[in-house]
């Protein structure tokens, strides 16, 4: 069976290699970490016991922050290491943990590669964020007596359907899972159905509620406001957008600013993936808007210089209301989305008007902002259900509904404020999954 699985993996690699090579050459992806991907991994502190956390990309990496913080307190004598699959995930992990954790690219799940990785890492426990259940990883861990835990477990309807089709093949893999700590009872039942023993499936809630920091102000937001010359403008932020959404956003924005009551509305678009920054920049210009690239502003001036620069000069450079050209801000830097969110009057959370699964709307709601998202946010089903049930966010199905929602939110400040307050309260009420998760992990580590 192992030989057959490796053969399937090899065929898959051959099949996707043209796409991977194109992305490598065109977008600079997949160029780093090949030693890691082939299982060559060296820890910072090999003398210590180890907790291995795997988080595939940015969203999963963000979800680890509170868990890692608690584990560091519980197990100061252990080294915590974190792997990620994507370049953006690797970058985010380095931004969050680079000064204190060993970070590496996830090894390919070939038998030989994964055995080599286990030999270098020698984990006492493996924590897989949301899903990421790889057959050889689970098999080798099980054979070595190493617990494997799915943390913040989420099994979408699409993934569930695929696993059901090959349940006879994957069932043994899921039977070897030590614990599946699921976000909801719906996800828990799916884990049970595909093979995880019922007593090993526990509903702990979503740790993303804990990582969503409830606050009314974000450090660095005042500097950002100065950098953008916002002054008395209202800012609409479209965050973590996906392919096909920016055009919708720009069309709706054009309709809004044609109305006199919204002429002071500014728009900031922050695409989800860095490789799309140039594409979105061109789209903004093609639609006849002026383009403000935040990366250029950030590069040209220090915070000290911007803090003393005259308002008049800033307005000329950034907004210039007397100009016939309305400028759109492109957030083409990493790690600044939360600052943009903190300045917004209304936030649209992207990858949701197109069928991409959505982006994290909890971060926006936690900041007490009126939050809007589209119908395709299936990756955040629990948060969507909780927020909509409490009237703490707005769901729009298309461009027309987005325009209507924006019009109402901007014209009726009390309505928008109530949505924002409701959303922030929902985030508060649902926090606590981290402590429950760490309690179960602690029990396994101690027993092991």
Using CA atoms, how far apart are residues 207 and 60, in angstroms rounded to an integer?
10
- Is residue 18 predicted with pLDDT exceeding 50? yes
**Considering the domain boundaries, does residue 211 fall inside one?**
no
**Considering the domain boundaries, does residue 214 fall inside one?**
no
**Considering the domain boundaries, does residue 441 fall inside one?**
yes
Q: Is 60 a catalytic site residue?
A: yes
**Considering the domain boundaries, does residue 333 fall inside one?**
yes
CATH code, domain carrying 242: 3.40.50.2000
- Is residue 237 predicted with pLDDT exceeding 70? yes
Residue pLDDT, tens place only, 387-404: 999 999 999 999 999 999
CA 219: distance to chain centroid? Answer: 20
3-state SS record for 128-140: EECCCCCHHHHHH
* Contact yes or no for 184/203 (Cβ under 8 A): yes
Q: What is the pLDDT of residue 448?
A: 64
What is the pLDDT averaged over residues 11-40? 82
Q: What is the dihedral of CA 156, 160, 161, 165, to 10 degrees?
A: 160
Using CA atoms, how far apart are residues 109 and 117, in angstroms rounded to an integer?
10
Residue pLDDT, tens place only, 196-222: 999 999 999 999 999 999 998 899 999
Q: What is the pLDDT of residue 315?
A: 44
**Considering the domain boundaries, does residue 9 fall inside one?**
no
Residues 125 and 236 in one domain: no
Query: Residue 146 CB: number of other CB atoms within 10 A?
Result: 21
Whole-angstrom Cα Rg for the chain: 23
**Considering the domain boundaries, does residue 176 fall inside one?**
yes
Using CA atoms, how far apart are residues 264 and 346, in angstroms rounded to an integer?
14
Average pLDDT, the chain: 91
Residues 247 and 360 in one domain: yes
Residue pLDDT, tens place only, 276-323: 999 999 999 999 999 999 999 988 755 444 454 444 444 444 444 334
Residue pLDDT, tens place only, 34-92: 999 999 999 999 999 999 999 999 999 999 999 999 999 999 999 999 999 999 899 99
> How many domains are there within the chain?
2
Residue position matching structure tokens 């999963």: 60
Domain that holds residue 375: 221-429
Q: Which of 60, 79, 245, 246 is catalytic?
A: 60
Residues 156 and 76 in one domain: yes
pLDDT top residue among 5 and 55: 55
């Amino acid at each position: 069976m192992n030989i057959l699985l490796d053969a399937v993996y090899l065929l898959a690699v051959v099949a996707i290699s043209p796409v991977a090579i194109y992305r490598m050459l065109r977008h600079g992806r997949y160029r780093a970490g090949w030693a890691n991907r082939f299982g060559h991994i060296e820890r910072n502190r090999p003398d210590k016991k180890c907790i291995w956390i795997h988080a595939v990309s940015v969203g999963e990496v963000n979800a680890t922050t509170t868990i890692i913080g608690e584990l560091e307190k519980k197990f100061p004598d252990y080294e915590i290491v974190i792997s990620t699959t994507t370049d953006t995930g690797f970058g985010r992990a380095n931004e969050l943990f680079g000064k204190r954790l060993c970070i590496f690219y996830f090894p390919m799940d070939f038998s030989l590669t994964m055995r080599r990785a286990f030999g270098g890492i020698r984990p006492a426990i493996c924590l897989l964020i949301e899903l990421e259940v790889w057959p050889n990883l689970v098999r080798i861990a099980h054979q070595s007596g190493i617990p494997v835990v799915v943390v913040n477990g989420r099994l979408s309807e699409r993934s569930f359907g695929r696993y059901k089709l090959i349940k006879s093949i994957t069932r043994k893999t899921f039977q070897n899972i030590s614990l599946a700590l699921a976000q909801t009872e719906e996800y828990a039942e799916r884990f049970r159905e595909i093979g995880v023993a019922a007593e090993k499936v526990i509903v702990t809630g979503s740790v993303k509620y804990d990582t969503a920091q409830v606050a009314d102000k974000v450090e660095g937001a005042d500097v950002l406001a100065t950098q953008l010359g916002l002054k008395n403008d209202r800012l609409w932020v479209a965050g973590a957008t996906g392919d096909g959404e920016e055009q919708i956003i720009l069309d709706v924005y054009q309709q809004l600013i044609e109305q006199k009551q919204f002429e002071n509305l500014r728009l900031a678009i922050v695409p989800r993936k860095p490789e799309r920054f140039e594409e979105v920049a061109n789209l903004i210009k093609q639609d006849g808007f002026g383009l403000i690239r935040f990366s250029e502003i950030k590069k040209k001036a220090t915070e000290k210089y911007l803090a003393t620069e005259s308002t008049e000069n800033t307005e000329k450079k950034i907004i210039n209301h007397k100009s016939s050209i309305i400028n759109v801000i492109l957030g083409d830097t990493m790690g600044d989305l939360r600052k943009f969110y903190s300045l917004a009057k209304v936030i649209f959370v992207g990858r949701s008007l197109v069928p991409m699964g959505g982006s994290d709307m909890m971060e926006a709601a936690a900041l007490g902002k009126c939050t809007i998202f589209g119908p395709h946010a299936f990756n955040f089903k629990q948060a969507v259900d909780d927020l909509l049930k409490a009237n703490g966010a707005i769901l729009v199905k298309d461009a027309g509904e987005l325009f209507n929602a924006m019009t109402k939110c901007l014209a009726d400040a009390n309505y928008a404020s109530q949505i924002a307050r409701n959303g922030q309260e929902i985030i508060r009420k649902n926090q606590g999954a981290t402590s429950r998760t760490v309690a179960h992990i602690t029990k396994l580590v101690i027993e092991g």
